[in-house]
Homo-oligomer: A and B are copies of this chain.
Amino acid sequence: MAALGLPVPDGLILPADLVSEIATGAPVPDLGAFPGAPDILSIRSSPERSDWGGPTAILNIGLSDRETEKLAATIGAAPALDLYRRFIQSFGTGVAGLDPEDFENLYYDQLKLAGLDTHDGLDAGHLSDLVDASKDFYADEVGEPFPQDPHDQLRAAIRAMAEAWARPSARILRQARGADPEAGTALILQTMALGIGQGLSGSGLVQMVDADSGKAVVTGRFLPQSQGQDALMGVRTPHLITRASREAEGQSAPALEELAPDALTALQAADLKATEGLRDRFQFEFTLDRGQVWLLDAMPAKRSARGAVAIAVDLADRGIITREEAILRIDPRNLIQHLHPQIDPDARRDVFGTGLAASPGAATGRIVFSAEAALAMQAQGEAPILVRIETSPEDIRGMHAAVAVLTARGGMTSHAAVVARGLGLPCVVGASDIRLNLRKGVLTVADGRKFNEGAVVTIDGTRGEALMGAARMIQPELGGAYAKVMDWSDDIRTLGVRANADTPQDGRLARQFDVDGIGLCRTEHMFFEEDRIHVMRQMIMADDVDERRAALDRLQPIQRADFEELFAIMQGLPVVIRLLDPPLHEFLPHGHDEMQDLAEAMDLPVSQVTGRAEELREFNPMLGKRGVRLGITMPEIYEMQSRAIFEATLAVNRRADAPVVPEIMIPLVSAYREVEMIKSRIDAIAQEVQAQAGEALSYKLGVMVETPRAALRAGDLAASSAFLSFGTNDLTQMTYGLSRDDAGRFMRDYVNAGVFPEDPFHSLDVEGVGELLLLAANRGRAQNPDLVLGLCGEHGGDPASIRFCQVAGFDYVSCSPFRVPIARLAAAQATLLSRRDRGAADAPGLEPEARGVGSDSVPPTRSASGTG
């Protein structure tokens, strides 16, 4: 700040190394005379990051009986004595280790003695008595008189602050905040800008940018006759900075602008200089000393998630920072604020349930306990909030109707969480403090209150809370800064961002978020709609291949129509279609009543329905007969699906400009032969469809790598695959031996206890799952250099995981549409960080700033591929 010519009091810096040495007993060097030779000083600690803590600043060093007298001549006796009193207290507590409360008691005793209520009435006599009392107390407690030599004072203060920094409690605090325990602090010695004395003196805080909009708005306060943190302490009511804000708040006390227009002008000039020179926006601590503005500290300006975006874009637009720098400064998660309504941070919150923040945003509505009730309520024009113990595919229609979802069970990747994120619905899962009696339609909360259907609540999916009643909201805003960030990100990033989109509706949504394609279309989701689920169930109830084929023949045109619509929407962008994945029992109803309904609808004895359900029941459905295992044992299912894909491709290509090249993906592969067998069937269907139509088509066939074995054998798989897409949800489950649906019950405990540094379903486990990804990528590419690599788990929307994909050389990530903006920005950041790391590697000695999952925290790719 001094170098920029900002009005900073003169001073000097004791570097961190020297401070460390002093803490371990080295003598404090002779500092000689200060530049400008003032006689009253302050010392502040200055660590690398302000949130690492450190000892409180000591002000007014140099005051003694004699100096106070001299100062009284300049600023008056009472202010001088008050400063001396403050100094004795500050030195006594900060250096001699006395209890600040004792000093406070002396002060209040003096007020009482003087018969006064506030400080304002204390005159020089009172203050002189207080100084004497303070010195006496000091001498009694410390065993020697209060030091009168300014050099003694300074040396003692420096040593005390150095030792305080090195204290174990301070080290622990720093460590807890992410600092290296050995990190040091510099000490800044400055002449005091007194803030107390004649003329307009005082101290304050000012920020010239709005924390939410990033626009030029001046906020802050000023307290005459104060110094240090006084203006923040609330002893007296401070003045506001501008007249406009004073008028807006209806305050009568004049604003600083009115008291000293020059001071505001000086502060504005300083703000501009700091913005340009330090390339960010700041909040300043300032002191007025007889009308003269002094800046004591500049901290990054406070900003909300939206404000951070706006400020970064504004700085770039003004040419103060580059677009790349702007991109790197925005936390991608902050974009969520731009995409969903949020509860106003100042709103009153009556929280009745706490769970996992499964899908961001907030919504107010009326609770319902079933999908049917959600649909009925929606039909009445009301906003339903679906509350369930957990959701299942049968609830999907209800979730479409709902404005938010709350479940009592489930983790970050439970059905409710995944679907809600896909739909962009605010969602809280695993709210274990609520109890549901679905039969009676009652929701009971921890404190015993009960809600019936129709009660108004607000779901805060950003914080993972359920609130009683309607809360005040802030609406999303997609233009302006947000749009610029997206554009710049797309210019920078080299990693593709696709969306997970299961239906034509999802496809439309994905296009709104400017995706590069669809990275995961889960075909089974097409079968849950009312007209389809019945045919799907006929297929499952079929007693032989012929019956099954007959049902599949009825499904085929429906599926083909879905694909046609989806391809048309995507206009030639790549679309990865995953063949049927879930175990068949997921398509059957669960309760006995529903099974009876199904039996009646299909004209079967109910025992046949329950019998089939029993046959299909699995101990561990996640590890059961699903994915390619269905494809191998019931080949007619995948045959139907590939025929539908190919016919849809030809139909769309007849009328579209950009030809569709569908990418067909085989799920849950664990052995090479599985791919070989499915591939030969799909290739045969393609031949057949082309021959029937007399038209040619292109397609790609790839594998979803979800089992550790598929990762290990990626070299084999790559021989028959155009692409590998890592399904990191399942891969994480299998690598940890941990079901995402069941992990919710102890994941929070596990993360809190530090057993796992983070929920591995949330941010990719670089050390375990990540190694499998790298190993698979290397083995796959070694076998097939044209192999396209993607990631399509929930991690596709997580910035740290995206960074990993960039480092690993993947081609794209795929995530739910509402995460796409985050992924686009994170991908741009990953590209920039990789570029910087490469630069750093070229020029040794330059340390990359942000490591995160940097190139050195993942195993070197060469040795990983050597395992093959």
B868, A673: Cβ atoms closer than 8 Å = no
Q: Decide yes or no whether A767 CB sits under 8 A from chain B.
A: yes
Q: Decide yes or no whether A247 CB sits under 8 A from chain B.
A: no
Q: Decide yes or no whether A309 CB sits under 8 A from chain B.
A: no
In residues 746-762 of chain A, which contact B (Cβ within 8 Å)?
746, 749-750, 753-756
Q: Decide yes or no whether A709 CB sits under 8 A from chain B.
A: yes
* Chain B residues positioned under 8 Å from A623 (CB to CB): 620, 622-623, 733-734, 736-739, 742
Q: Decide yes or no whether A789 CB sits under 8 A from chain B.
A: no
Interface locus among A286-294, A334-342, A859-867: A859-867
A768 to chain B, nearest CB (A): 4
A54 to chain B, nearest CB (A): 30
Q: Decide yes or no whether A632 CB sits under 8 A from chain B.
A: yes
B755, A671: Cβ atoms closer than 8 Å = yes
Interface flags for A621-641 (1: CB within 8 Å of B; 0: not) read 111110001001100000000
Q: Decide yes or no whether A674 CB sits under 8 A from chain B.
A: yes
Interface flags for A439-474 (1: CB within 8 Å of B; 0: not) read 000000000000000000000000000000000000
Q: Decide yes or no whether A771 CB sits under 8 A from chain B.
A: yes
B863, A866: Cβ atoms closer than 8 Å = yes
Q: Decide yes or no whether A516 CB sits under 8 A from chain B.
A: no
A201 to chain B, nearest CB (A): 56
A633, B746: Cβ atoms closer than 8 Å = yes
Contact of A741 among B620, B674, B737, B742 (CB under 8 A): B620
Q: Decide yes or no whether A397 CB sits under 8 A from chain B.
A: no
* Chain B residues positioned under 8 Å from A671 (CB to CB): 755-756
A411 to chain B, nearest CB (A): 10
* Chain B residues positioned under 8 Å from A868 (CB to CB): 859, 863
B737, A668: Cβ atoms closer than 8 Å = yes
A194 to chain B, nearest CB (A): 53
- Complex Cα gap A749–B864 (Å): 35
Q: Decide yes or no whether A712 CB sits under 8 A from chain B.
A: yes
B735, A768: Cβ atoms closer than 8 Å = no
Contact of A620 among B621, B629, B673, B756 (CB under 8 A): B621
Task: Using CB atoms, name the residue of chain B closest to A622.
Answer: B620
Contact of A677 among B620, B739, B755, B768 (CB under 8 A): B755
Asked if A867 meets B771 with Cβ closer than 8 Å, knowing A706-B737, A709-B736, the reply is: yes
* Chain B residues positioned under 8 Å from A620 (CB to CB): 620-623, 739, 741-742
Asked if A737 meets B737 with Cβ closer than 8 Å, knowing A620-B622, A623-B620, A624-B742, the reply is: no
Interface residues of A (CB under 8 A from B): 618-625, 629, 632-633, 668, 670-671, 673-674, 677, 706-709, 712-713, 730, 733-739, 741-742, 745-746, 749-750, 753-756, 765, 767-769, 771-772, 775, 859, 863-864, 866-868
7 closest A-B pairs by beta carbon, nearest first, are A623-B739, A863-B866, A707-B737, A620-B739, A709-B768, A708-B708, A624-B742
**What would 21 A/B residue contacts be, using CB atoms closer than 8 Å?**
A618-B741, A620-B741, A623-B733, A623-B738, A629-B750, A632-B746, A633-B750, A668-B737, A670-B738, A671-B756, A673-B754, A673-B755, A677-B753, A709-B735, A709-B765, A712-B767, A712-B768, A712-B771, A730-B737, A859-B867, A867-B867
